[in-house]
């Protein structure tokens, strides 16, 4: 993973990491929409952010 990208844990897409990223910041994957939480800065570590499931059904 290059210094300003991480790999999405769900779908494997490249997710851009902003230069001024902070611990606890939420990054959104452009391909699959999952939200990733930056758990550590050095080394840059991410985890799936808790997502409250919206009621989407008909």
d(CA 58, CA 31): 24
Residue 14 interacting with another protein (CB under 8 A):
no
Plot region of 57 (φ>0 → left; ψ -120 to 50 → alpha; else → beta): beta
Nearest approach in angstroms of CB 13 to another protein is: 7
Nearest approach in angstroms of CB 41 to another protein is: 18
Residue 1 interacting with another protein (CB under 8 A):
no
User: Of 53, 24, 2, 23, nearest to 15 (Cα)?
Assistant: 2
Residues in touch with another protein (CB under 8 A): 10-13, 26, 28, 30-34, 51, 53-54, 56
């Amino acid at each position: 993973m290059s210094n300003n990208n991480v790999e999405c844990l769900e779908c494997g897409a490249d997710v851009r990491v902003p230069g001024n990223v902070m611990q606890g910041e939420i990054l959104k994957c452009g391909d699959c929409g999952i939200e990733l939480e930056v758990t550590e800065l050095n080394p840059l570590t991410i985890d799936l952010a808790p997502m409250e499931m919206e009621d989407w059904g008909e």
